[in-house]
Structure 1
Amino acid sequence: MLYATEIQAPSLAALERAVLDAERAGYAFVTFPDAPLRAGVEAGVLAAYLARRTTRIGLAPTLHVTTTEPFHLATQLAGLDHASLGRAGWVVGATTAAGDLATVGRCQVDAGEVADVVEVARRLWDSWEDDAVIRDVQTGRFLDSRKVHHVDFEGPGFSVVGPLITPRPPQGQVVVIGSALIAAELDVALVRGSGVAGIAERAAAARATGVPLVFADVPAGFDAAALEGVVDGVHFHGGTPPAIAAGAHGATLRETLGLPRPTNRYAVARSVA
């Protein structure tokens, strides 16, 4: 079974120690909570800080679709994946607190708009084909413009033309993690429930959407062994992360989780055309 844990610490030094401890213990990835009005450093910046201070563990900040523009979310996460050499994840946040939303003049949003942001981020990560950068010195061309694409997303809440301003992430797509409410859009769904039976029921519902992996989101003191065979992994929150049976890390977070590297949708469309 795979394990992940939420990390909170009073200082950058303490955070780094905690994440390195989790890496040595064999956790697949760590998550960082965030709130737009919280004093201190934003979760995405914390993850970027740790990108070159860690070597194997996945780094998954909580970034809110309700307080950050979709294009900037996709760019920040692609940058994190490049900086960490393919270990970026994204916990999809959707804060609805009035104070948080007031920082950007937003109103409440529904699950449909959250799913739209995930979809447009995935399109933007694909907007550069893997071999778009050619660095052809003789012709003076840095990239092949035929392999950089506009995403032309039009939704009820926003529109994005694209392409992204960075090449495709090393993983192809950053690992997307979040609530089972949008499980169909995710790589990893986090489910909560009352005891093992409740978690099993919600895990089954999430799997029915086709989500590749389901993790139980449980307090640090929960008996994870009771969830063997019920979920693919366990994500601990609150308190000190428990000792676990050390897991193996792949070269990227996708490899660690056993997820394939996605095919670029625009490369496929161009080859068919």
Structure 2
Amino acid sequence: MALHLALEVDGDFASLPDHVTAAERAGVALVTIADSPLPPAGGGIRIEAGVRAAFLARRTSRIGLAPTLHATVTEPFHLATQLASLDHASLGRAGWVVGAERSRQAYATVGEPPLAGAELRRELEDVIDVARRLWDSWEDDAVIRDVATGRFLDADRVHHVGFTGARFSVAGPLITPRPPQGQVVVIGWDTLGVTSRLDVALVGGGTVDEVIARARRAREDGAPLVFASVAYDGGSGLPVDRLVGAVDGVHARVSDLAVDLPRLLTETGPRPPLGATLRDTLGLPRPANVFANAGQEPTA
């Protein structure tokens, strides 16, 4: 069984395309793009992860692009729109790493008090749920481009989501058509408490046994795929061969992509082929639209 390989990338914006295209040539399934709502510690500016992913969308052709967008400090409608736009720009290669920055300084950027515990978990659940509903708010065939009648879309196939969460509500619909993948691939840590809502759960641990135990729990909690997330600086410290069968992939947080990528490729061995979309690459089905059969009798 071959393991998928994902890389976390950050750092110099100018070198980012070269690093990511090198990863694509090597068969890396996706890159995750780290981010923070706070300015860099050393001063200066940071280009937001979603913008970096959009920059890479037309400079790559097969690798998945998954920016970290923080559900705690990002307006849910804008978050869903940005990710849908990324999926269109990349022709179906968008993912979303669910960020949950929860420091007082981060919440101060949006003028809200910090959340923790059950309130934080409910907020993350609500943001993921409304994003998925917004991606479904346009049915796949909503855009009809009927020249004879002058109709661009069928309004009956565009839906208000009418979502009410604990701290926000969204009427919808989204301002972009449904993403090419149906829904963007949702990725997040098993420690967030929302594993059942993820497509890919990231698990860590200091030992192989701990990683395997956390991977087992993530599957029991409903995650379709599980990746072992490891810090990599010339070696992960974990015998990757023991993870085969326990996880579906390795997510490497590298210190120097140019130096570490060749070693990492050797350590993790063969990789599954890249598909036309990120869901194809990962073997995830394209989700059915929750609004498509609304008001219709279910078929046998």
Aligned residues: 272
SS at match of 2:296: helix
Tell me, yes or no, if structure 1 residue 232 matches structure 2 residue 257: no
Counterpart amino acid of residue 33 in structure 1: A
Moved over 6 A (4+): none
Question: Which residue is equivalent to 1:248?
Answer: 273
SS at match of 1:219: strand
Counterpart amino acid of residue 29 in structure 2: A
SS at match of 2:187: strand
Answer yes or no: is the 8 Å Cα contact 1:66–1:106 preserved in 2: no
Rounded Cα–Cα distance in structure 1 between residues aligned with 2:123 and 2:10? 29
| Equivalent in 238, 259, 267 of residue 292 of structure 2 | 267
| Equivalent in 95, 99, 107 of residue 101 of structure 1 | 107
TM-score normalised by structure 2 residue count: 0.88
Q: CA shift at 1:226, angstroms?
A: 2.7
Tell me, yes or no, if structure 1 residue 7 matches structure 2 residue 9: yes
* Per-residue deviation, residues 150-180 of structure 1 (Å, max 9, x unmatched): 0000111110010000000000000000011
Answer yes or no: is the 8 Å Cα contact 1:124–1:162 preserved in 2: yes
Tell me how large the CA RMSD over aligned residues is.
1.2
SS at match of 1:271: coil
Tell me, yes or no, if structure 1 residue 74 matches structure 2 residue 80: yes
Rounded Cα–Cα distance in structure 2 between residues aligned with 1:272 and 1:146? 17
Answer yes or no: is the 8 Å Cα contact 1:44–1:76 preserved in 2: yes
Counterpart amino acid of residue 189 in structure 1: A
Question: Which residue is equivalent to 1:168?
Answer: 178
TM-score normalised by structure 1 residue count: 0.96
Rounded Cα–Cα distance in structure 2 between residues aligned with 1:103 and 1:42? 14
Tell me, yes or no, if structure 1 residue 60 matches structure 2 residue 66: yes
Answer yes or no: is the 8 Å Cα contact 1:3–1:28 preserved in 2: yes
Answer yes or no: is the 8 Å Cα contact 1:192–1:218 preserved in 2: yes
Rounded Cα–Cα distance in structure 2 between residues aligned with 1:238 and 1:105? 34
| Equivalent in 214, 224, 229 of residue 217 of structure 1 | 229
Rounded Cα–Cα distance in structure 2 between residues aligned with 1:271 and 1:131? 17
Query: Where does structure 1 lack aligned partners over 5 or more consecutive residues?
Result: none
Q: CA shift at 1:108, angstroms?
A: 2.1
Counterpart amino acid of residue 4 in structure 1: A
Answer yes or no: is the 8 Å Cα contact 2:72–2:123 preserved in 1: no
Rounded Cα–Cα distance in structure 1 between residues aligned with 2:297 and 2:131? 23
Question: Which residue is equivalent to 2:153?
Answer: 143
Answer yes or no: is the 8 Å Cα contact 1:191–1:203 preserved in 2: yes
Q: CA shift at 1:272, angstroms?
A: 2.9
Q: CA shift at 1:246, angstroms?
A: 4.2
Once the two structures are superposed, the pairs formed by residues 83-94 of structure 1 within 5 Å of their partners are 83-94=89-100
Rounded Cα–Cα distance in structure 2 between residues aligned with 1:272 and 1:107? 45
Tell me, yes or no, if structure 1 residue 49 matches structure 2 residue 55: yes
Question: Which residue is equivalent to 1:187?
Answer: 199
**Percent of aligned pairs sharing the same letter:** 60
Counterpart amino acid of residue 156 in structure 1: A
Counterpart amino acid of residue 216 in structure 1: A
Answer yes or no: is the 8 Å Cα contact 2:201–2:225 preserved in 1: yes
Tell me, yes or no, if structure 1 residue 208 matches structure 2 residue 220: yes
Query: Where does structure 2 lack aligned partners over 5 or more consecutive residues?
Result: 40-44
Once the two structures are superposed, the pairs formed by residues 90-129 of structure 1 within 5 Å of their partners are 90-109=96-115, 110-129=120-139
